[in-house]
Amino acid sequence: MSVAAGSKYEPVIGLEVHVQLLTVSKIFCSCSARFGAAPNTNVCPVCLGLPGALPVLNRKAVEFATLAAMALNCRINEISIFARKNYFYPDLPKGYQISQYDKPLAEHGFIEIHTKAGAKKIGITRVHLEEDAGKSLHEGFADAGEKTAIDLNRSGVPLIEIVSDPDISSPDEAHEYLTRLKEIILYTGVSDCNMEEGSLRCDANVSVRPRGQKEFGTKTEVKNVNSFRFIREALVYEIDRQIDVIESGGKVTQETRLYNSNEGRTYGMRSKEQAHDYRYFPEPDLLPLVVDEKWQAEIRKTMPELPEARRKRLVAEYGITEYDAQVLTFSKSLADQFEAAAKAAKNPKRVANLVQSELMGRLKASGLEIEQSPISMSGVAVSADLVESGAISGKMLKDLYDLSFARGKDFPAVYEDEGRPQQSTDTSALERIIDELIATNSKQVEQYRTGKKTVIGFFVGQVMKASKGQANPQLVNELLAKKLEG
């Protein structure tokens, strides 16, 4: 595709994200919802879809789904309806999936994302509850060439589906939306969002239209993408492909396409597999779901501080940059560790400053993520207190941090290994150094005495150098001022 053709069109993207809820049991039966059990061991008549078995809704799944929807700024519908989504698939023994259709649990939410042009709200059409299907296994068996095996452990595991409005206008925005979405869900604790284990899955609807046109173009749905990076790649490919089709006089066909990450391209699925007519109808075995105001209020009470709000507070409270607030809120646990360390230290701002000035740079230089840091947040707090009390100088702290990174050991351990070094507070030794400097730098002494007080910086530097960075700067300043006043 040419650059000129690319700028003539704009993409329109909507994302459908499935998130597995971290309940102990499945959504409609008491089987374990845990990942990784031996195939077909977490099953019962309900999740096997045996005749006569009746679903019973898991209260915790409703609470988790509601909490997630609230975190995504959705309006909770007091009454929502479960519906049967009918289709045949070998790993769907009932022949239908229990989902929600025209009356979902929650609607009208949004996520704020950061783009080059500033903050942008991406609308969330709906959040609804549904059960997962089982899993078809095509590999790893002696007769896998002829047969497909089915594992129904996942059948009936609770999911929420989060559907975005078609507000996303580039693959980068899609990536940012997913990153923020995952971060928010992780903060609420309702899912581990582990993509390898399938607890977060994403499908993308994408179309292109001439820039400025209101009507949407024909969309395709890209499925089978298992990382945020691949979603971005798949979207880039699919947008280019659609523009090429239109530019060469063709028409985009509405279809489902699969992304092959090895080849970096999408393929249309056989048309037989995409003739969807789900014939939704209300699930007769389940009553309408009622999440009244009282229950909503109880759920809202369990809402933790969300990442965006926490970043704003960290910036205001600790005087750190937005970028560092981003890094420190990467996970809730990291942010919790940071704040616990900062609060335990004598001077919380000093902890924040050390993280910003000493830790981040070293992590970047060593190519480490913050969770891989040899110096823990409590290690930073210990070092901050040592500087605060004057036991070690800033220069000594830098050296000890370097040793921590070189040895892959936390700060307190390195401090012990080095014999708990102390900066020099030996006044007589410092006085000797100062006397000598005053004797050999009469010009600077003269400048100081005639009012150019800033020249004291020159002397401080010389004393620190002479003491090999071991002197207590505060003490040096005091002694120098006294001697220079002479």
CB of 46 or CB of 208, closer to Zn ion: 46
CB of 308: closest distance to Zn ion in angstroms? 38
CB of 20 or CB of 383, closer to Zn ion: 20
Torsion of CA 251, 253, 259, 264, to 10 degrees: -10
| Strand order across the beta sheet in which 118-131 lies | 75-76, 106-115, 118-131, 158-164, 9-20, 200-210, 220-225, 256-260, 265-268
CB of 80: closest distance to Zn ion in angstroms? 23
- What tokens appear for 282 in the block? 């209300």
CB of 1 or CB of 24, closer to Zn ion: 24
Compute the distance between CA of residue 68 and CA of residue 192 in angstroms, rounded to an integer: 13
CB of 31 or CB of 252, closer to Zn ion: 31
Compute the distance between CA of residue 469 and CA of residue 276 in angstroms, rounded to an integer: 74
Compute the distance between CA of residue 197 and CA of residue 381 in angstroms, rounded to an integer: 36
CB of 131 or CB of 183, closer to Zn ion: 131
Compute the distance between CA of residue 27 and CA of residue 158 in angstroms, rounded to an integer: 5
SS (H, E, C) 365-413: HHCCCHHHCCCCHHHHHHHHHHHHCCCCCHHHHHHHHHHHHHHCCCHHH
CB of 286: closest distance to Zn ion in angstroms? 15
Amino acid at 26: K
CB of 53 or CB of 334, closer to Zn ion: 53
From the CB of residue 176, how many other CB atoms can be counted at a distance below 10 Å? 20
Judge contact between 221 and 190, C-beta under 8 A: no
CB of 195: closest distance to Zn ion in angstroms? 25
- What tokens appear for 285 in the block? 């075995």
Compute the distance between CA of residue 265 and CA of residue 480 in angstroms, rounded to an integer: 70
Q: How many CA atoms lie within 13 A of 221 on its CB side?
A: 14
Q: Which residues contribute to the site for Zn ion (CB under 5 A)? A: 29, 31, 44, 46-47
CB of 44 or CB of 438, closer to Zn ion: 44
CB of 88: closest distance to Zn ion in angstroms? 21
Judge contact between 362 and 329, C-beta under 8 A: no
CB of 98: closest distance to Zn ion in angstroms? 13
Cα 221 to Cα 162, 235, 263, 278, distances in angstroms: 15, 10, 18, 17
CB of 62: closest distance to Zn ion in angstroms? 18
- What tokens appear for 236 in the block? 């880039």
CB of 283: closest distance to Zn ion in angstroms? 17
Judge contact between 82 and 99, C-beta under 8 A: yes
CB of 29: closest distance to Zn ion in angstroms? 3
CB of 41 or CB of 357, closer to Zn ion: 41
Q: How many CA atoms lie within 13 A of 219 on its CB side?
A: 16
Amino acid at 229: R
CB of 21 or CB of 360, closer to Zn ion: 21
CB of 156 or CB of 379, closer to Zn ion: 156
CB of 229: closest distance to Zn ion in angstroms? 35
Q: In a 3-state reduction of DSSP, which class is residue 122?
A: strand
